[in-house]
Chain A
Amino acid sequence: MNEKVVDDLKAIRQILDRTRQVTSGEEGWISVVGGMIWLLGFLGQHFLPEHLSGWAWVVVNTVGLSIIAWLLVRSARQNSASPPLLRSLMVSWLALAVFDVLFVWLFELETGYHFPLLALITAALCYAQMGILASYWPLVVTGAAIAALAAGAFLLAQSYFFLIVALLGGGMLIATGLWMVRSGKRA
């Protein structure tokens, strides 16, 4: 059994190395688009009146999520190994989204700062989990940085919360994505 386990581990490592080289480009672009959504949405929330910022979020989310869906479909078509993994990831992210909805409902969250704060902490968890499972530590560090940034901005600089989240959170996602795209190309 031991030799079989060692062989399995070697095979997994080789497959992971190949897959990481292929997928880091696609994941990188998804991170860049996610960063753009945050940047534009939270900038709108800081600078626009409330009724307009709501519409800004709708437009930015619709366009951004459509691009992400297109990137995911393109990635699934290009790489036949993706669909089962993609399905698992989708279910995992759906569990996070359902948790957020339940949290808002059961703990009677107020609108305003609480919704984006919850979204940020959840996104940070998502990054950390994906990084842990893929042993891809830049994602874990990004998740930890987003959580620290969100908590810090919420507790220490609430009037600039949305602006800080837009510039640093969105910027960090874009930078991480570009770094992933670059390292994918280099590999």
Chain B
Amino acid sequence: MDSNQALDDLKTIRQIMDRTQKAAGGNGGWFMVIAGVMWIVGFTGNQFLSDEHAGWVWAVANVGGILAMIWVGMRLARDSGMSTPMWKPAFLFWIALGVFSGLLIWLFHVNGVNRVGLLILLVAAMGFVQIGALFQHWLIGVTGILIAVLTIGAFLLFPAYFGLSMAILGGGLLVASGLWMIRSGR
């Protein structure tokens, strides 16, 4: 590859990234809002309900949230007139993080609602930072760092209110960042 070809490629990539960032900003924002609502519902259940009932609340929140994400994804694909190939790697990327969390819980015997919650939230925060870095969408990366800091702070300083803290701060942060992205995308 000669240097002229590389420079042409760089220019093309930069133009495409600018267009994609503008277009994807709004779309990605909806997914963050849905994830934020899932966290608010799930972690509020953790705080106020028994473990068994909180488990059911999480199951309902997860199923509802995933269905909502699929619906939003299909609508966005329909509106743009084609299914974008970005959904597949993004989906597989989060599946890989899910498998990673599962392996850590299993192999290192992570147990207890707060500890499992802490692990999952830290993995999610790491995923946000990675996505932010790889797609150069720095708001997503900063959201990930803030989630990690809030999660660790709540776990260490207010363990009795971990669920409530994560519902309000973590979920609220995701919803707010998502809404901000949708607004700036428009």
Are B130 and A129 in touch, CB under 8 angstroms? yes
Give CA–CA (A102, B151) in the complex, Å.
12
Give CA–CA (A125, B141) in the complex, Å.
19
CB of A145 within 8 Å of the partner chain: no
Interface residues of A in 48-103 (CB under 8 A from B): 79-81, 84, 88-89, 91-92, 95-96, 98-99, 102-103
Our pick among B85, B97, B133 for the contact of A9 (Cβ within 8 Å) is: B85
Interface residues of B in 48-90 (CB under 8 A from A): 80-82, 84-85, 89
How many chain A residues sit at the interface, stated as a range, is 35 or more
Q: Which of B6-14, B34-42, B163-171, B173-181 contacts A (4 or more CB under 8 A)?
A: B6-14
Give CA–CA (A129, B16) in the complex, Å.
22
Shortest A168–chain B CB gap in Å is: 17
Are A117 and B126 in touch, CB under 8 angstroms? no
A-B contact count (CB 8 A): 108
Are A107 and B12 in touch, CB under 8 angstroms? no
Closest B-chain residue to A23, C-beta based? B1
Give CA–CA (A15, B1) in the complex, Å.
11
SS class of chain B's interface: helix, strand, loop or mixed? helix
Our pick among A95, A118, A143, A147 for the contact of B130 (Cβ within 8 Å) is: A95
Q: Which residues of B contact A12 (CB under 8 A)?
A: 13, 16
Are A80 and B6 in touch, CB under 8 angstroms? yes
Q: Which residues of B contact A179 (CB under 8 A)?
A: none
Give CA–CA (A118, B13) in the complex, Å.
36
Are A11 and B93 in touch, CB under 8 angstroms? no
Shortest A59–chain B CB gap in Å is: 29
Are A5 and B7 in touch, CB under 8 angstroms? no
Are A132 and B96 in touch, CB under 8 angstroms? yes
Give CA–CA (A99, B151) in the complex, Å.
13
Give CA–CA (A121, B110) in the complex, Å.
15
CB of A128 within 8 Å of the partner chain: yes
Q: Which residues of A contact B89 (CB under 8 A)?
A: 132-133, 135
Our pick among B6, B100, B134 for the contact of A81 (Cβ within 8 Å) is: B6
Give CA–CA (A107, B134) in the complex, Å.
28
Q: Which residues of A contact B113 (CB under 8 A)?
A: none
Our pick among B7, B12, B97 for the contact of A15 (Cβ within 8 Å) is: B12
Q: Which residues of B contact A6 (CB under 8 A)?
A: 82
Interface centre among A11, A79, A129, A147 (most CB of B within 10 A): A129
Closest A-chain residue to B95, C-beta based? A132
Closest A-chain residue to B91, C-beta based? A132
Shortest A107–chain B CB gap in Å is: 6
Are A92 and B96 in touch, CB under 8 angstroms? no
Q: Which residues of B contact A88 (CB under 8 A)?
A: 133-134, 136
Interface residues of B in 1-39 (CB under 8 A from A): 1, 3, 5-7, 9-10, 12-13, 16, 19-20
Q: Which residues of B contact A129 (CB under 8 A)?
A: 93, 96, 130
